[in-house]
Amino acid sequence: MSASNLVAFAKMHIDGGVGPDGKQVLSAESVAAMQEQQVKLPELGLMGDSWGLGWELFNWEGGPVIGHDGGTIGQTAFLRVIPGQKAAVAVLTNGGDALGLYRELISPVINRLTGVVVPELPAPANDVHAIDASRYVGTYSSQVADSHVTQDAEGRIWIEQKMKGIFAGLAPEQPRVELVHWKGDTLIPRKARHGMHTPHAFVGNDGDGNALYLHTGRADRRVSA
Q: Average pLDDT, stretch 183-197?
A: 89
CA dist., res. 68 & res. 217, Å (int) = 12
pLDDT band at 201 (very low <50, low <70, confident <90, very high): very high
Residue 190 has pLDDT above 70, yes or no: yes
Residue 224 has pLDDT above 80, yes or no: yes
* Least confident interval from 68-72, 75-79, 196-200: 68-72
Tell me which fold the domain 3-114 belongs to. Answer: Beta-lactamase (3.40.710)
Q: Average pLDDT, stretch 44-56?
A: 87
Please list the residue range(s) of the chain that carry CATH number 2.40.128: 138-224
- Can you give the pLDDT at residue 1? 84
CA dist., res. 53 & res. 197, Å (int) = 27
* Least confident interval from 39-48, 168-177, 181-190, 207-216: 168-177
Q: Average pLDDT, stretch 204-211?
A: 94
Give whole-number Cα distances, 31 to 28, 59, 88, 115, 154, in Å.
5, 18, 16, 24, 52
Residue 66 has pLDDT above 70, yes or no: yes
pLDDT band at 172 (very low <50, low <70, confident <90, very high): low
- Can you give the pLDDT at residue 100? 84
pLDDT band at 49 (very low <50, low <70, confident <90, very high): confident
- Can you give the pLDDT at residue 24? 96
Tell me which fold the domain 138-224 belongs to. Answer: Lipocalin (2.40.128)
Distance of CA 9 to the CA centre of its chain: 21
Q: Do 58 and 64 meet the contact criterion of CB atoms below 8 Å apart?
A: yes
- Can you give the pLDDT at residue 71? 80
Please list the residue range(s) of the chain that carry CATH number 3.40.710.10: 3-114
Looking at per-residue pLDDT, the higher value among 166 and 94 belongs to: 94
- Can you give the pLDDT at residue 129? 85
CA dist., res. 56 & res. 161, Å (int) = 26
> What does 161-221 look like in DSSP terms, one character per residue?
EEE-THHHHHSPPPPPEEEEEEETTEEEESS-BTTB---EEEES--SSSS-SEEESSSEEE
Q: Do 165 and 171 meet the contact criterion of CB atoms below 8 Å apart?
A: no
pLDDT in tens, 91-137: 999 888 888 888 888 889 999 999 998 888 888 988 888 899 999 99
- Can you give the pLDDT at residue 74? 80
CA dist., res. 95 & res. 91, Å (int) = 12
